[in-house]
Structure 1
Amino acid sequence: MEPGNDTEISEFLLLGLSEKPEQQPLLFGLFLSMYLITVFGNLLLILAVSSDSHLHTPMYFFLANLSFADICFTSTTIPNMLQDIHTQNKVITYEGCITQIYFYLLFASWDAFLLAEMAYDRFVAICHPLHYMVIMNPRLCGLLVLVSWIMSALNSLLQTLMVLRLTFCREVEISHFFCEINQVVRLACSDPFLNDMMMYFATVVLAAAPLAGISYSYSKIVSSILGISSAQGKYKAFSTCASHLLVVSLFYCTSLGVYLSSAVTQNSHASAVASVMYTVVTPMLNPFIYSLRNRDIKGALKRIVSVTVM
């Protein structure tokens, strides 16, 4: 690197999903629609859980927290993207980029922890039904959510501080619609070795560990279901896990697919397009997945609608 190429930068340039002017109105309408569906869908789910006393159980407590995390997760990226498209100004300040990295990592890792806690809840409900209310007491549920929040906050804080130590070149373009940490670290002029090691460590602790917990829980759940004699009993037990399994599959398959493909191809634009699946599409689909297959949720939503109409 030639002398004078490093500087204290004040802003980044987000290239977005497309630089073609004719595609901007379509992208704006599409992402605005998805964002509104995500926010209102998850807010309705939270309202249904909080307003119906029949839903004041551990499973729905975790579900309400997941809906809140999904709202915050999409709100860290999509509003800024919509503003960029509307104003045709793709510049994001250095401080804004660092803030976006912090909150993106916070809610992404919290999502992973909550999915693991929901898997544990289903494990206890199916494998230890007689002790369910004793084990999954309000104190434990609150503690699980609090600990996962603290661990997520500490991870995002540490990784953000690691980014602050980097120096960047004068021309800093990010081939993404938000400040994704991998893309930002790649642009550093200084050695990113410690950042890479920290990201790998965080991936193991905050992504692989929850996934291992989910896999273990469901291996025990499947064993218990296979031990049920009646077909109706097997179906009932499996139906309580189907929605959660679908959400886990969407979240992990899309997010792992993005990172594995980006590591192999090094195509930043393709990675940005693929990341829409877990940053936008999955949070949008979660309320539909949980409500369409759940009589209790549908009943609570109907009561909310009837009260609103009256």
Structure 2
Amino acid sequence: MNPRSVHDLAIEARGLVKRYDDKLVLDGLDLTIPRGEVFALLGPNGSGKTTTVNILSTLIDADAGRVVVGGHDLADNPNGIRSIIGVTGQFAALDDLLTGRENLQLMADLNHLGRGPGRARVDALLVDFDLVDAADRAVSTYSGGMRRRLDLAMTLVSTPEVIFLDEPTTGLDPRSRRTLWDTISGLARDGVTVFLTTQYLEEADRLADRVAVLDQGSIVAQGTPSELKSLVPGSSIHLVFADDDTFDRARSVFADATAVPGSRRLDLSTDDTVRSLREALGRIESEQLDLTDVSVHTASLDDVFFALTGRAEPQADDQTIPHEGAA
């Protein structure tokens, strides 16, 4: 890959170090994120995801290292960074006593948009986030999904170039989560750079152009979801047979396969080629084995995460510092 010009980069971090007392949370973290990319940071409990977001968004200081966001160096011009970013944290920064419209208008006033442009921006965001019908209701009456959408809308009042989303869909029901996914995808299509931390591997797989796995304060792997999945070799063919007798015969035919108790299923390791699947099906036909289902399992981000960290999945993040819904 050719080195990118600094003008092509939305975020560049070099050698970030952060300690909390005697705990080393970030250990020389390096990140390079192009403009317009959706970048997902995965990591187990205590890996430093939230700490990374807090440093990049100017909320806390690193003990060492350099940060440049949108061409602004954090050491020299933190206000320049704040002027081009939005932050949606793990906890919605909403005033429950105000209506949705009033919350948005407050952000427009804080960003000095002016009376006319501010109202126009608020009206547009209410439409974009499907909150028109609830616009004049108190936020205390909103569902979890509506609150999350409003929180993200508040982040977008200032039309930021870079958005930090720290586990934005935690606690949402599946429908609300997918609605928010569509919103994030739309932001990316509009050229916004999205820095996403998540504990949902499916979320990173669906949304991210690139994914980095953070463990014990360092990046242990990064690349596209497909590139990361390729780090876990091999796939398997899952064969389900019609009855116990057929299953027993199949176990003799596929002596190296793994039997799944109680399901009449054999898992057959392959070399990730169509030929291996064709050979397996050919043996089933020649032995006249009655097959009821066949599927191919390839590596997922769950498999990658476990292989790289020794943990089954990410969990709640490290040191959590509540922060504002928009910067």
- Where on the TM-score scale, by shorter chain, does this alignment land: which range? under 0.3
Q: Larger Rg: 1 or 2?
A: 2
User: TM-score of the superposition, structure 2-length normalised?
Assistant: 0.23
Q: Which has the higher contact order (CA 8 A, sep 6+)?
A: 1
Q: Tell me which protein shows more helix as a share of its residues.
A: 1
Q: Tell me which protein shows more strand as a share of its residues.
A: 2
User: TM-score of the superposition, structure 1-length normalised?
Assistant: 0.24
